[in-house]
Copies of this chain bind each other. A is one copy, B any other.
């Protein structure tokens, strides 16, 4: 069976001369990217069309669907972003309602904005011990659906960025009893279900639409992803329509062949990949058992073995300090820093040398005993008090997201925002949650929370400086974007 990637090389090796796009004519010689340039084409004869596939690309997608046990799979060259936008647009009617967690990816909110959706929220559930989002049970979703009662689809992120899973099997059953589809943002779980010892895939557990970022944990290039669909609650034509809206009409053959290569690699070596990943994970976990200051939760807590959350909660270090030490002193670049943790991603493509460097660095950092906080233990009843971030209640909504984000706005000094309607997203990273979204009412607690986060130098996005206008004397002060009163 012809493979996309091999056909591109065959073409490059042939005497067929390109009087077509791209303009580089596969003739860029001077860079390490030259191998990629050599395979970079457009939709010429024999190379199919991502948006109306019936040849090479369709065959490649079929192989991917088989690997993931999906009825249909479509390649994404605009990231999971385009998959989330398309899935929500196709599954929920305009002005309809969707049930989701507050901490969903921004592409979720963008879809809700574009399609004028009403969002029903699941209650915020945190794993307080680590300051990260918890997963959801079938019961959580059932209760939220019963309370809201109008949702046309449920949107769940599993695994989370930090590797925590929801009970997709239960949630899918709840959704199907109600006759609505379950969309799973499994951007971080492309490796799930591909071998022994990693969690099962959301496709296999009964989700109707599943989106995987192939680049996050598998050997595929950044910006590549895949969307799987299953069952009769999904209108495949609508999914395809929205994918053709949200994705370039000139999709990259480099990205598509990278997806094809990745699928082939996982077909052939998926088991070995997962074995290696688990071996690496166990090496780190075993070492961590002896640590006194830093903690690494096991896969009983963070089910995804590709995520290593290195908690500094029982030391005086912040997550950022831990991250910086690893980067600056040990030249280990981690994925991100939380308030009291740093997060590493490992995969089957790591080298043993790399893993040993991480272990050795963590051992040394742990041994810097002076930074241990006395009188603390994981079993402490007051563990929440270690965290600045404690998000429980959602702001009240005055306008729909789509109304408020498009409305006329002004920047109002933080101290004067109480009671005003937000005109922007204010996000806290991590854990990556909107503290408020356009259309919600800014209350006193939110102002206090934002002030506290800012004072602690946490990463709050969506706070601006007051620039001009009526508020003389306070230019330069911090302010929030508010909807102008009518």
Contact = CB atoms under 8 A, between A and B. Distances in A.
A248 B222 CA distance: 10
Given A31-B261, A345-B19, A406-B94, A36 B333 contact: no
B81 A345 contact: no
Contacts of A258: 33
B32 A82 contact: no
A79 interface: yes
A301 interface: no
Contacts of A253: 222
A347 B250 contact: no
Q: Which of A14, A22, A213 has the most CB of B within 10 A?
A: A22
Nearest to A424: B241
A250 B32 CA distance: 22
A27 B351 contact: yes
B25 A350 contact: yes
Given A222-B42, A346-B19, A255 B257 contact: no
A39 B221 CA distance: 10
B223 A25 contact: no
Given A220-B24, A248-B81, A249-B79, A16 B333 contact: yes
B254 A23 contact: no
Interface stretch (A63-71, A103-111, A175-183, A465-473): A103-111
Contacts of A252: 221-223, 252, 255
Contact of A331 (B17, B223, B244): B17
A357 B33 contact: no
Contacts of A41: 222
B20 A333 contact: yes
Contacts of A121: none
B245 A110 contact: yes
Nearest to A358: B19
Interface in A36-81: 36-42, 44-45, 52, 77-81
A335 B245 contact: no
Contacts of A335: 19-21
B22 A247 contact: no
A246 interface: yes
Contacts of A214: 23
A35 interface: yes
Given A219-B28, A255-B223, A334 B19 contact: yes
Given A33-B36, A45-B333, A223-B77, A21 B249 contact: no
B20 A32 contact: no
A114 interface: yes
Given A33-B36, A36-B221, A215 B249 contact: no
B81 A247 contact: yes
A460 interface: no
A401 to B, nearest CB: 12
A332 interface: yes
Contact of A22 (B42, B94, B215): B215
* 9 shortest interchain CB distances as A-B pairs: A79-B248, A32-B35, A19-B344, A24-B219, A36-B36, A223-B252, A20-B335, A23-B217, A22-B215
19 contacts: A5-B31, A15-B331, A16-B327, A16-B333, A19-B358, A20-B333, A21-B335, A23-B190, A23-B214, A23-B219, A31-B35, A31-B261, A32-B39, A107-B249, A114-B245, A213-B250, A216-B250, A221-B254, A223-B248
Interface of A: 5, 9, 14-25, 27-28, 31-42, 44-45, 52, 77-82, 85, 93-94, 105-107, 110, 113-114, 190-191, 213-223, 244-255, 257-258, 261, 306, 308, 327, 331-336, 344-347, 349-351, 354, 357-358, 406, 461
Given A23-B191, A33-B35, A106-B249, 11 more contacts: A14-B331, A19-B345, A20-B334, A21-B215, A23-B216, A23-B220, A23-B349, A31-B35, A114-B245, A222-B254, A223-B255
